[in-house]
Amino acid sequence: MRIDLISIFPDYFAPLELSLVGKAVSSGLVELGVHDLRTWTHDRHRTVDDTPYGGGAGMVMMPQPWGEALDELVPPEAQPTLILPTPSGQLFTQSLAAELAEQDWLLFGCGRYEGIDARVAEHAATRMRVIEVSLGDYVLNGGEVAALAIVEAVVRLLPGVLGNPESLAEESHGADLDGLLEYPMYTKPAQWRGLEVPPVLLSGHHEQVATWRAEQSRQRTAQRRPDLLQGPN
Ligand code: SAM
């Protein structure tokens, strides 16, 4: 998979050199490109923002550097998926992560200030798939943290990235658990500070363990995220 990230703060993406994503990059499973949006400015101050039409506080990212960045990075016949993180986008979910993990090329456009001029998404959609994605119902300062989260959630699903692919089974929000939350997990010791591991997990009865976990998963979801009981997103 190829992943390109465009931002005015390319240093934000240094953590992508670490851990499993870093290994996926160094082993060649993921080809990563980080681009400074200011490369496509032409004035002395390398300006990327201007005041909003219609008035109001804050600044808006100008379409010109974004347009030129996309022109240069995406050849005419290429078909990446352009992901624009924004609090007004569709909610990022595990099922969207799984769908993005099937793509050959993801390109991220990270907004700052009050966001990117809306014509950038509109124009890009005439020649590539564009999805505006929200990390959740809150506002961040920029799209970089959202892009990092999306990249991590997607890359860990790529074959060969996790040492043990079975780690992907029975995870919260996944199809194995019907989109519910994962059951509680425990490790050694069996007693710790007066707290015991539920005895069924020490019993060796696989069926009973599976039944207990399914029930815990359902109970935990009902308590914490009743909205998920409708099924996977
Ligand atoms: N004025 C925008 C609004 O009210 O929707 C918020 C702009 S925010 C301060 C700046 C940038 O941060 C956005 O353009 C987007 O790239 C990113 N961002 C903020 N919150 C986000 C979220 N919940 N999900 C994804 N990206 C987000």
pLDDT band of residue 233 (cuts 50, 70, 90) is low
Average pLDDT rounded to a whole number, residues 210-219: 98
**Helix H or strand E encompassing 136:** none
- Indicate the domain borders of the chain: 2-156, 165-228
Report CA(204)–ligand 1 centroid distance (Å): 48
The domain 2-156 is classified under which CATH number: 3.90.1150.10, 3.40.1280.10, 3.30.460.10, 3.60.15.10?
Answer: 3.40.1280.10
pLDDT reading at 114 higher than 80: yes
Query: Minimal CA–CA distance to 13: which of 40, 44, 35?
Result: 35
194 annotated as a binding-site residue: no
169, 67, 57: which is closest to 109 by C-alpha? 67
Residue 61 CA: nearest ligand 1 atom is 14
What's the CATH number of domain 165-228, 1.10.1270.20, 3.60.21.10, 3.40.50.1970, 2.60.40.10? 1.10.1270.20
* Residue 148 phi, psi dihedral angles, 5° rounding: -60, -45
Q: With a threshold of 0.85, tell me whether the complex ipTM lies above it.
A: yes
Q: Is the pLDDT assigned to residue 89 strictly greater than 90?
A: yes
Asked whether 143 lines ligand 1 (CB < 6 A), one says: yes
36 in Cβ contact with 8 (< 8 Å): yes
136 assigned ligand-binding residue: yes
149 lines ligand 1 (CB under 6 A): no
**How high is the pLDDT of residue 231?**
60
**pLDDT tens, 10-50?**
999 999 999 999 999 999 999 999 999 999 999 999 999 99
> pLDDT (tens digit, 9 = 90+) per residue, 195-210?
999 999 999 999 999 9
Tell me the C-alpha distance between 227 and 131, whole Å.
Answer: 24
Q: pTM here?
A: 0.96
Stretch 52-70: mean pLDDT? 98
Tell which residue, 188, 169, 185, 190, has the closest CA to residue 217: 185
Each residue's pLDDT tens digit, 146-170: 999 999 999 999 999 998 888 888 8
The pLDDT of residue 208: 98
Compute the chain's Rg from CA coordinates. Answer: 22
Cβ of 156 below 6 Å from ligand 1: no
Instruction: Determine if residue 135 is labeled as part of a ligand binding site.
Output: yes
Residue 169's pLDDT is 86
How confident is the model over 72-85, as a mean pLDDT?
97
User: Is 80 exceeded by the pLDDT of residue 194?
Assistant: yes
Residue with the smallest CA separation from ligand 1 atom 1 is: 114
Give 60 Cα–ligand 1 centroid separation in angstroms: 12
